[in-house]
């Protein structure tokens, strides 16, 4: 038996538990046998369209079942899956298609863009009634490319992160180990399948072990709460925005969350008060850190480490993290530096880009933080987000954390404007921007305190929800 490539997982699971629910949506429940049949049909269709080993197949859409069908079908024949977030603007979609060299684009809804220069089909074109045909067999090796996942492009054009079959498998092994995910679990799939967080944190680990993945009809707070209660969800992954939406939904107090045994929060600032609100409802949330380049898991904060508020935990067992100074030397415990990571789930690099790993296999994340004497990580910000005020480095996230959760404040972001730190806020009319300066000044170092707080109608963000700081800077300059 060869390496258990990603494309074989559902077929293997269907052989063991064919009737078990694999994927639950608002209108249907697919067993592992059902899902395996759909994947086999899509595999045949891909081959009939001329897709072969190494070809790139792009999927553009939301959490449609065919996102997963196309992932497993593509990787089953040795082709490479290229997920594209549905909210990416069309110019970025085209950039991803051109850079990846995709031979086929699949959208979850009809669309026509002949100028893209590739074939395009609706997901509906791949139905389970296709007659199987004989095609050459292919077995994956651990380092064969499986997924080409593009970065959000906050600091430049999106880059294709190379993720092998082995990278994905090791990510799943570590999440199964850390969270105890198994066949009895029901996982909430609210995060996009087209981002590695939406796949690698809980969805792929659940399908790997034979559990059920439940897709809510929408990602607003009430719909997610209803999905959790109706389907007896046991495991969830969400970013802080969704957790806040659930917390402030009208049905929060009466929502049945008794089935949830664990949750993972990542992808943004997760204040202690938010985690505490869920713990008070009996839902323990594990704060974590990850990135696309690690498929995505790097660290998790165990629920027993409540005393380490603000930390994103220690590295998962097979990942190493070091904090590095600008001269390449290793930081002392508690010293701010760039995080470099190494492990079997860490990418080899970027598609059609120069190598980034050093000779010992360490990968620079571009993220800045500290590692304390006990090995706990505290994330600060992206290195590229640093603001300079004289000789002092100030990170926007330090200011944003201090204001996060302030009454009447719905969004916040800080940038440097002509040598001054200015904070843009989206807030209720009664919020006085000037009154927020002493609030933030009470919890951060004096050199981090912003010079001004200004009201804006919207914080510019990209498809991944990350702040477009250049756009915010221009917005604040014009005021």
CATH number for 307: 2.30.38.10
CA angle 89, 93, 97 (to 5 degrees): 170
Q: What is the dihedral of CA 107, 108, 109, 115, to 10 degrees?
A: 0
pTM of the full predicted structure? 0.90
Last residue of a domain, one of 160, 189, 215: 215
Q: Domain end: 188, 215, 242, which one?
A: 215
Place of tokens 């389907």: 231
Does 2 sit behind a cis peptide bond, omega within 30 degrees of 0 on the bond before it? no
Does residue 353 lie within any of the structural domains?
A: yes
- Residue 401 is predicted with a pLDDT of 84
CATH no. for residue 421? 3.30.300.30
- DSSP single-letter state for residue 193: T
pLDDT tens for the chain, 479 residues long, are: 567 899 999 999 999 999 999 999 999 999 999 999 999 999 999 999 899 999 999 999 999 999 999 999 999 999 999 999 999 989 999 999 999 999 999 987 544 443 333 444 444 445 444 455 567 778 999 999 999 999 987 667 899 999 999 999 999 999 999 999 999 999 999 999 999 999 999 999 999 999 999 999 999 999 999 999 999 999 999 998 899 899 999 999 999 999 999 999 987 777 778 888 999 999 999 989 999 999 999 999 886 775 577 889 999 999 999 999 999 999 999 999 999 999 999 999 999 999 999 999 999 999 999 999 999 999 999 998 898 887 888 999 889 888 877 889 888 999 999 889 999 999 999 999 999 988 888 888 888 899 999 999 999 988 777 888 999 999 888 65
Same domain, 17 and 153: yes
Residue 209 domain-assigned? Answer: yes
Give me the pLDDT at residue 241, please: 87
Do residues 112 and 49 both lie within one domain?
yes
> Residue 183 falls within a domain, yes or no?
yes
Whether 78 maps to a domain, the answer reads yes
Please give the helix or strand (H or E) that residue 98 lies within, else none: helix 90-100
Structure tokens at 470: 């250049």
Q: Both 49 and 151 in a single domain?
A: yes
In a domain, 292, yes or no: yes
Residues 356 and 423 both lie in one domain: no
pLDDT given at position 123: 44
The CATH number of residue 200's host domain is: 3.40.50.12780
- Residue 230 to residues 257, 273, 294, 397, 401, Cα–Cα distance (Å): 10, 27, 33, 37, 34
Query: Both 292 and 375 in a single domain?
Result: yes
The reply to whether 185 and 44 lie within a common domain is: yes
Among 51, 50, 49, smallest CA distance to 7 is for: 51
Residues 6+ apart with CB under 8 A from 27: none
Domain termination site, one of 351, 383, 415: 383
Give the angle 87-91-96 at the CA atoms, nearest 5°: 80
CA distance 144 to 162: 10
Asked if residue 265 lies in contact with residue 238, where contact means CB atoms within 8 angstroms, the answer is: yes
pLDDT at residue 124, rounded to an integer: 42
One domain for residues 76 and 27: yes
Instruction: Give the span between the Cα atoms of 83 and 332, in whole angstroms.
Output: 39
Q: Is there a single domain that holds both residue 172 and residue 299?
A: no
Question: Is residue 15, in this structure, part of any structural domain at all?
Answer: yes
If asked whether residues 20 and 82 sit together in one domain, one would say yes
CB 59 within 8 A of CB 68: no
Task: Give the other-Cβ count within 10 Å of 245's Cβ.
Answer: 19
The domain tally of the chain equals 3
Is residue 275 domain-resident? no
Q: Are 150 and 12 part of one and the same domain? A: yes
Residue 370 maps to a domain: yes
Same domain, yes or no, for 91 and 160?
Answer: yes
Domain that includes residue 40, residue range: 6-215
Strand ranges in 15-115 using DSSP code E only, listed in sequence order: 21-24, 29-31, 56-60, 80-84, 104-107
Residues 58 and 111 grouped into a single domain: yes
């Amino acid at each position: 038996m060869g390496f258990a490539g990603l494309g074989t997982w559902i077929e293997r699971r269907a052989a063991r538990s064919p009737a078990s629910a694999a994927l639950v949506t608002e209108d249907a429940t697919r067993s592992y046998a059902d899902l395996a049949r759909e994947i086999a049909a899509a595999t045949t269709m891909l081959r009939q369209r001329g897709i072969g080993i190494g070809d790139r197949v792009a999927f553009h859409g939301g959490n449609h079942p065919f996102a997963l069908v196309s992932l497993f079908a593509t990787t089953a024949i040795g082709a490479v899956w290229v997920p594209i977030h549905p909210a990416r603007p069309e110019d970025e979609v085209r950039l991803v298609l051109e850079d990846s060299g995709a031979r086929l684009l699949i959208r979850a809804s009809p669309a026509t863009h002949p100028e893209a220069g590739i074939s395009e089909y609706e997901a509906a074109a791949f139905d389970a009634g296709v007659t199987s045909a004989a095609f050459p067999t292919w077995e994956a090796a651990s380092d064969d490319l499986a997924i080409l996942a593009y970065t959000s492009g906050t600091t430049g054009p999106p880059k294709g992160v190379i993720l092998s079959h082995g990278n994905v498998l090791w990510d799943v092994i570590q999440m199964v180990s850390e969270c105890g995910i198994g066949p009895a679990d029901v996982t909430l799939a609210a995060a996009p399948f087209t981002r590695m967080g939406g796949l690698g944190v809980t969805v792929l680990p659940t399908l790997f072990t034979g559990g059920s993945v439940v897709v809510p009809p929408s990602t607003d707070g009430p719909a997610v709460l209803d999905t959790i209660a109706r389907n007896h969800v046991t495991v969830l992954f969400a970013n802080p925005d969704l957790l806040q939406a659930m917390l402030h939904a009208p049905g929060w107090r009466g929502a049945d969350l008794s089935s949830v045994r664990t949750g993972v929060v990542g992808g943004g600032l997760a204040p202690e008060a938010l985690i505490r609100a869920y713990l008070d409802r009996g839902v323990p949330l594990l704060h974590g850190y990850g990135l696309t380049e690690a498929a995505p898991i790097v660290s998790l904060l165990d629920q027993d480490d409540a005393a380490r508020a603000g930390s994103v935990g220690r590295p998962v067992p097979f990942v190493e993290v070091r904090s590095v100074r600008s001269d390449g030397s290793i930081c002392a415990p508690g010293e701010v530096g760039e995080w470099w990571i190494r492990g079997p789930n860490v990418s080899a690099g970027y598609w059609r880009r120069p190598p980034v790993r050093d000779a010992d296999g360490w990968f620079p994340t571009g993220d800045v933080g500290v590692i304390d004497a006990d090995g706990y990580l505290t994330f600060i910000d992206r290195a590229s987000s640093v603001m300079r005020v004289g000789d002092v480095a100030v990170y926007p996230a330090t200011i944003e954390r201090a204001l996060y959760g302030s009454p009447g404040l719905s969004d916040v972001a800080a940038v440097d404007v002509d040598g001054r730190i200015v904070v843009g806020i989206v807030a209720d009319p009664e919020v006085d921007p000037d009154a927020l300066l002493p609030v933030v000044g009470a919890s951060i170092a004096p050199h981090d305190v912003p010079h001004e707080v200004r009201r804006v109608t919207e914080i510019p963000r990209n498809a991944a929800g990350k702040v477009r700081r250049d756009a915010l800077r221009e917005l604040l300059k014009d005021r």
